[in-house]
Structure 1
Amino acid sequence: MDRKSWKFAQVGKTSCSIEIATALARHYGRRTLLIDLDPQASSTFFVMEQENWKLWKESKGTTYDLFEQRGKGFPIQDAIVRDVLQTKAAVFGFDLLPSSPELVDVDLRLTDFIGHAILRDALEQVRDQYDYIICDCPSNFNPVTKNSLWASDAYVVPTVPDFLSTYGIGLLQRSINKLFAPTTSHHAMSGPVLGGIILTRIRANVLLHAAYCEQVRSDYPGHVFKHTISDSILVANAADNRLPISAISLPKGSEIKLQDQFKALAGEFISRIHHIRSLKRS
């Protein structure tokens, strides 16, 4: 089954999720759904004003409601914010299923609940409407994160060039392999593959960054994105302004460089996912 979902984890996940989703829609005309599965709701508040989110939460629902209802009868079509950036920028084709801080309570209740297919089953209602469905997950390996993995064909790992972040890639891989390994109760499932590792917050003049980047490329040959993202305060400013760098119509200075980087990253994302889909079909 072509699940079309792509999980982002580790460092810089929210900025990468938002910027790639925006670039896919704006620069490549790809219909993209971003699902915010983090109780911090960082992706949600990146692109939605708090008052608008409150009204949406009360009238339409969020990922909290999806899991609280175990997906049964949840109107996912209504809960999706269509063209979420349209009031701020000429970006169409980027939709959002928002999150809520209440999601942390659901996560605790799901601990002893075998419900890995909640998200996967709910997405069957909208899967054919999108070229890509991207899940922005919390960095911990909780039941909601596991749900995203069960619904995904691949996971993508943004990481900064330091020891703890790059060490976490291997830990994540082992956790995923364990999740889909055979047990006494079920056979091994076909889990998501590593879709790529994105090196972010790169400082070109820091030798240690260059060394860690080369180490990651050596440890995971063929899995590291060729295009990287530079370290810049402009990324944080974009979140404060609730306008992705990839959505700015007339960028200037360093904004141009960053926008070009995210555009190139989204283009490489398309190529990598196309390759994965081709392998799954063969």
Structure 2
Amino acid sequence: MTTTPKFKPKVISFVNLKGGVGKTTLAVSYASYLGNVHKKRVLLVDLDPQTNASFWVMGFKDWKRHEKNKGTVADLMGATAHSRLGSNLRTVDNIVYKSPVFGFDLIPSNLSLYTMDLDLASVPMKEVKLKRAIEACKNPYDYIICDCPPNLTIPTQNALALSTHYVVPIALDYFSSIGISLLKSRIAKLGNDLDNHPKLAGIVITRAGSRPGWHKAETEGGLRKTFGAELLNSKIKDRQDVVVSTQDKTPVFNSGNQSVIQEFTGVCQELYGRIQ
């Protein structure tokens, strides 16, 4: 029997095949923007086993305590030993970590996602486990943000099976940009396999660098020529203040640096307008 969703939130996955492009920073910041500025009910799902988003929002000690007492996204997706044995009673409603500072609820990640493809190799419908868990949620969200790992493994497939949109953050360098077309084509193919076709909300330059250079200008020009309106006009420089925010466990909007705040606000406003 198929579960009928009680609500239809906008679900946005932040994806790239390359790491170190500011994906987590943008995902967390956009979720915070939606919650604190637009007063939306927001859920951030950390699907990256590196757990950077979880550590940023919770800190390691709270994450460790939460993992033991309430669980993580791995429990929802059957990626832990006890959940694969059928003893998992954890749901979205009782697993979330609420953060008034960031303005959203969080489902934290877990290192076991690294081996999820191997652990669930023979499990049917493993690509829609997160979707089913979200559909069973009793408390509706306006937005669900998925921070995906830099690959198209089972955790990312679960996010895309649920998503209405996806965002591609990139650094302004050759290696970060050459995989965009491949990523788009693979997501389109996965859409056929998963019977869900998320729309590309935008490609975002998240690490433009603080100093201009001819190669960066050339790369950006090439991107705009190739992808046109898919590339956002707003962009973010690679700033030390972002690192400080993660260490302080606060949103970048609390950094006190007006240039940083303006850059992130500009990107978030542009994404918000595209996804409405």
Query: For residues 143 and 201 of structure 1, what CA distance do their matches in structure 2 show?
Result: 27
Matches within 5 A, 1:122-201: 122-126=133-137, 129-181=140-192, 189-201=195-207
Percent of counterpart pairs with the same letter?
32
Tell me what 1:106 maps to.
Answer: 116
Please report the RMSD computed on the Cα atoms of aligned residues, expressed in angstroms.
2.1
Tell me what 2:28 maps to.
Answer: 18
Alpha carbons 1:3, 1:152 under 8 Å: kept: no
TM-score with structure 2 setting the length: 0.86
Tell me what 1:267 maps to.
Answer: 269
Matches within 5 A, 1:213-224: 213-224=220-231
Partner deviation per Cα, 1:210-229 (whole Å, 9 max, x = no partner): 22122112211211112110
Tell me how far 1:15 sits from its aligned partner: 0.5
Which of the residues 234, 255, 259 maps onto 1:227? 234
Query: For residues 227 and 243 of structure 2, what CA distance do their matches in structure 1 show?
Result: 29
Which of the residues 128, 131, 143 maps onto 1:120? 131
Tell me what 2:42 maps to.
Answer: 32
Alpha carbons 1:23, 1:262 under 8 Å: kept: no
Query: For residues 158 and 38 of structure 2, what CA distance do their matches in structure 1 show?
Result: 28
Note the residue ranges of structure 2 that are not aligned, 5 or more in a row: none
Runs (4+) of structure 1 exceeding 6 A deviation are none
Partner deviation per Cα, 1:121-161 (whole Å, 9 max, x = no partner): 11113386222100001011101111110000111000011
Note the residue ranges of structure 1 that are not aligned, 5 or more in a row: 183-187, 275-282
Alpha carbons 1:8, 1:158 under 8 Å: kept: yes
Which of the residues 74, 78, 82 maps onto 2:90? 74
TM-score with structure 1 setting the length: 0.84
